[in-house]
Structures are given as structure tokens and as C-alpha cells.
Chains A and B, each alone.
Chain A
């Protein structure tokens, strides 16, 4: 579910909360029956899979591998292509913009696995009670999730606008005015401003995942801890938080993926500027590919991005595989 990465396409990759998952124990039997069904017609599953798999291979799996090949060429995308070995990767290591973008992705990643996780968990704990209005509060906090990144970018460009934008005019009103802070124009601030806007959208999503996880925490465990005299904080730390651990893993994986996918807000709010100081790998490759027509180089950047996220994707898939094989 993470598609939601502050960016457009499916942001949150849908990795729903594990916690939401019912345990599938009763299906053991169903699986046995399925197996029986399968002996009669081996080819049936392939018939059902043919079309979806063909489409997926053509637009997703194939292109993924093709990017690796492209990164070894100097192609401009359409007219020519020559094998250049690892030249693109050698160039990348010595490219200052690459390192600036790389570190911006790292900043994004660090902020994304801390702020929305803590904030989202806090809000989930707070709103996980039956008081009048909690539904409305949840919806309000979650609502930025349904806005497209174009909308988020428009709204936050006005928030950050130096003349009469939300923040600067509020500072004025409070008497801290004077200097107009260029939230998106200051080379040191721009990337943090963008990450701030992205975080605003991410927190509600994380909150939602934790809320689903909390529903699976047995209230009697918490009650028991309290009866034993544990404080709220201790019962959270020793009972609830450990039980939420699988949910936290998912939240972190989603946030990492979303941080690595960062593109839309950068493209819309600063175009990587000023002086590439708010650039990220996802946008840098777009510029190299579509503005400088260095598609081979762009592909190399994409491969680096992919390899970084592979570490996290595999961690996640391995956990899932273990669950699959267990039952």
C-alpha cells in the first residue's frame, strides 16, 4: 500500500498490515481440497494466469530487467544504443549531483521511518478509543492521503510561499516577521520543506495501519498488565508495542519504499532546485533521461535506486515466504 509515497502512482504499496490478517489456520483443509481439485486439470491455472501474467511480464517484469541492460549502454532511448559496459556507473560515482541526490534520499528515508512512525503510532493509540468524534478525527487526519501529489504540491507551495504564504504570514502575525524565509528557495531548507509536505500525507496512512494492528491486540492482555499495576506507559512498552512489532515492520518497509520512490513533490515544487540541492535520485534520473537524453545514465541511476530498495524488499518478502511455507 505504500503507494502512497508521497507520490503519484500507487503510492502505498499495498502491503497491508499483517496485523489485519486473520490467521488462516482453517484453510489447511481447504488447501488440501484444492490440491485434490488440481489433479483433474493441470492446465486450468495456466489458462487463468495467461493473460494477467502476459500483461504483467510485458509492462512490469520485462521493463525491470531491460533497465539493467539499458544502464550498460549510452542510448538516447529511441534512435541509438551502444554497449558501454560500466561507464555509466563510473560516471555516477564521480557525479556531485548524484551524491547530493543520494543523501537527500537518505534524509527523506530517515525522516520517513521516524516521524510518521512515531506520529502515526501516537495518533493511533490516542484515537483507538470509543469516544464521540474519534471517527471524524481519524478521517480528518487521514484525508490528505486521498489527495494527489499535484494537489499536495499546490497546497504546500502556497504554505511555503515567501510572500504571504501560510508560514511566513503566520510568523508575521505572531511578531516574528521581517525576514522572508524562502522555504523552497533556500538551498539548505528546500529538501526539508518538501519532506515536510510528504510527511503530512504519510502520517495518516501510518496511523491507519497501526489502528488496524491495534484491533488485533487483545484488550485483556492490556487489562491484565494494568491489574498487575503496570503504568500506561509500561503496559504500552512491554505489552502493546511488542505485539505490534509485525505492523511496525510493515510500516518501516512501506516508508522506506515511499522515500526511495520520491519524485512527484520534488518535480512539482522545486524541480530539484536551487542548484540541485533538493534533488533526489528519482527526479535526477528523469532529468538525465528526458532533459539531457542520457537514457543509459538515467537507467543506471534507476538501477542504483532499485538495488537499494532490494535490500528492504527482500527482507520483507523473506518474512512473507516464511509465513507461506509455515502453513
Chain B
């Protein structure tokens, strides 16, 4: 699929290679470096705040470095603030939802990419259309459904909903990827006597691994970062994932910015790590949906 092998050349690179002092390059750095720093100021200062004591914040204001580094803020956020519980909950919800979604969407994508049958395009467009919905339209019925199934205020409500809702996007991406797999591969397998299930498991899934990796990175971030559904489907504090958990923290630690930001920093560790180490996959996933 396209995304993995795009040429790296910047197409807009100035064609002229004038000799002499590289004014353009200098200008580029003179703009982009300050821009980037200003862009990230809210993040840098949040980190700074998480290391300060409340007295220092009140007395010295915003633009001051910590006089002594207050690691205790992190301890307080982790224990009293409840971050340890919230983080665990986030993983308990995200991992099964992610795995289930990837498995089910690759099945659906396989069917849509490999077979021509009545309703193929309709089903495909249903998946795509569902992805684009303003999800508020699902809010009340999903809340009601979770209640009727006795799943309201359980992990299962979140797991099942994320698994289902993310199917749309994943099926969309995988179907478009699988259509690029040459038909000869299937023919050869079929001549060897493989049935469709084996073709799926032994040929299509392994070939789709790069797409699956990219999707997994992206979907992990999305499910892990979900705030809306956690708010709608889970109420009790001990089941909250880290997003709504931070929401409660914002209420409890109003104006105790240091503890709040210590908690915030803890909360972003998993997605930041993912982004730093799997950035390539993450970006691939985002640009992959394109498939056409």
C-alpha cells in the first residue's frame, strides 16, 4: 500500500541551488525554531508546574522555575489522586477493545475486499459512513442499550462499544489495503487446496501486518484517549479510565495546578511513548485511511 513506500523527497524543495550564503535556509530556521518553542510553551510550562510547590506557584507566579523539585506531586497524584487506578482501567478497556476490533475488522475487510457479492459496496459504505457520524447521535441509544444489557457502569460497556465503533475505520483501511494484495496469491493457495479460512489466516493476515501495526498504534491512542464514552458509560470512580479520571482530578485539585499536572504527565506517558517509538506507524495509520 502506498503509504509504506512513499518516496521521501520533498517535492517542494527549492529547485534552485544558488551558490553563496543560504539565506533561505537561515530564514527557515529563524522562523521554525521560535515557532516550535512557542507552540510547545503550554506543554513545557505544564511540566514545569508539575515540579513546583503550590506555595511557589502562588507566591512567584507562572514564569518561575521550581526552587526545589517536588517529586511528591507525582506521588500524590498517583495515590491520593487515584491515577494508579485510572491508568489500570484505561489498559483494561483499551487492550481487549483494540484486539477485538482488529480481528473483527480484518474479517470484515477480507470479505469486502476479496468477494463480490450483493451488498458489498453498501456494507462498505455503511462502515465508512458510521465512522464519520457525529457520535452524539449514538449517545442516548448506546446509553440505553448498555443499561438494558446490564452493562452500564462496567468495563464491558466501554470495551464493546469501542470495539464496535472503531470497526468502521479499521475495516475501511484494511479493506483498501487488502484490495492491493495480488489475486495470484489467492489462486496459488487455492490450487494448494487451502480453504478461505486458511487463506485468511495464513496469507492475508500476515501480509496485512504492516497495516495492522499502523492501525493498532492509532487505535490504541484513540481508545486510550477517549473521554466522551467514558463519561457516558462509566460512572463509578473505581472504573474510570484515565481521561475521565483526569476530569475528576481537575475538579478535586482545582487550583492545585502542580498535582493536577503531575497527574496529567503520568496520564500521557503511554501515548507519548507510543508516539515516540512508533511514530512511523502512527503517521502511516493516519494517512493510510486514504486508500481511495
Contact = CB atoms under 8 A, between A and B. Distances in A.
Interface of A: 1-3, 7-24, 26-27, 29-35, 37-38, 41-42, 44-46, 48-49, 51-53, 55-56, 58-64, 66-67, 70, 77-78, 125-131, 133, 137, 139-144, 146-151, 153-159, 161, 164-166, 169-170, 172-173, 200, 205, 208-209, 212, 214-219, 222-223, 226-227, 232, 236, 240, 250, 253, 257, 260-261, 263-264, 267-268, 281-282, 285-286, 289, 295, 298-299, 301-303, 305-306, 309, 313, 316-317, 320-321, 323-324
A140 B36 contact: yes
What 10 A-B pairs are tightest by C-beta distance, nearest first?
Answer: A16-B289, A33-B183, A22-B2, A16-B290, A8-B227, A63-B141, A59-B164, A148-B225, A14-B289, A30-B183
Contact of A44 (B57, B113, B196, B218): B196
A316 B292 CA distance: 12
Contact of A21 (B105, B140, B190, B292): B292
A126 B114 contact: no
A197 to B, nearest CB: 9
B168 A60 contact: yes
A12 B286 contact: yes
Contacts of B62: 164-166, 169-170
Contact of B1 (A12, A22, A29, A236): A22
Interface in B142-189: 142-145, 147, 160-169, 171-173, 176, 179-184, 186-187
14 contacts: A9-B165, A14-B169, A21-B291, A30-B179, A33-B186, A38-B117, A45-B111, A45-B117, A48-B200, A67-B138, A130-B10, A200-B42, A267-B231, A317-B128
B266 to A, nearest CB: 11
Given A215-B9, A306-B134, 19 more contacts: A8-B225, A9-B222, A11-B225, A16-B288, A24-B180, A31-B183, A33-B187, A45-B115, A49-B112, A52-B171, A148-B242, A149-B225, A161-B257, A169-B61, A217-B11, A219-B13, A226-B15, A317-B128, A317-B129
B95 interface: no
Nearest to A221: B11
A212 B11 contact: no
B223 to A, nearest CB: 8
Given A48-B110, A70-B141, A55 B11 contact: no
B292 A18 contact: yes
B264 A37 contact: no
A50 B28 CA distance: 54
B287 interface: yes
A112 to B, nearest CB: 14
Contact of B140 (A23, A159, A298, A305): A298
Q: Which has the most chain B C-beta neighbours within 10 Å: A59, A209, A214, A216?
A: A59
A298 B137 CA distance: 9
Nearest to A77: B144
A260 B135 CA distance: 10
B281 interface: no
A141 B108 contact: no
Given A7-B228, A67-B141, A45 B179 contact: no
Contact of B12 (A27, A159, A214, A253): A214
Interface string B9-30: 1111111100000000100110
A318 B110 CA distance: 23
A313 B25 contact: no
Interface residues of B, number: 135
A143 B273 CA distance: 11
A146 B134 contact: no
Contacts of B291: 16, 21
A118 to B, nearest CB: 15
Contacts, number: 421
B53 to A, nearest CB: 14
Given A61-B130, A63-B141, A150 B267 contact: yes
Contacts of A52: 104-105, 107-108, 167, 171
B29 to A, nearest CB: 8
B24 to A, nearest CB: 10
Contacts of B187: 33, 37
B212 interface: no
B91 interface: no
B42 A155 contact: yes
A64 B125 CA distance: 15
A129 B36 contact: no
B222 A30 contact: no
A150 B247 contact: yes
Contacts of B213: none
A38 B283 CA distance: 35
B261 interface: yes
Contact of A77 (B143, B171, B172, B283): B143
A15 to B, nearest CB: 5
A295 B6 contact: no
A139 B57 contact: no
B61 A164 contact: yes
B180 A22 contact: yes
Contacts of A257: 132, 134
A198 B111 CA distance: 38
B139 interface: yes
Contacts of A30: 179-183
A130 B147 CA distance: 54
Contacts of A219: 9-13
Contacts of B169: 1, 3, 10, 13-14
Given A33-B183, A212-B3, A38 B13 contact: no
B69 interface: no
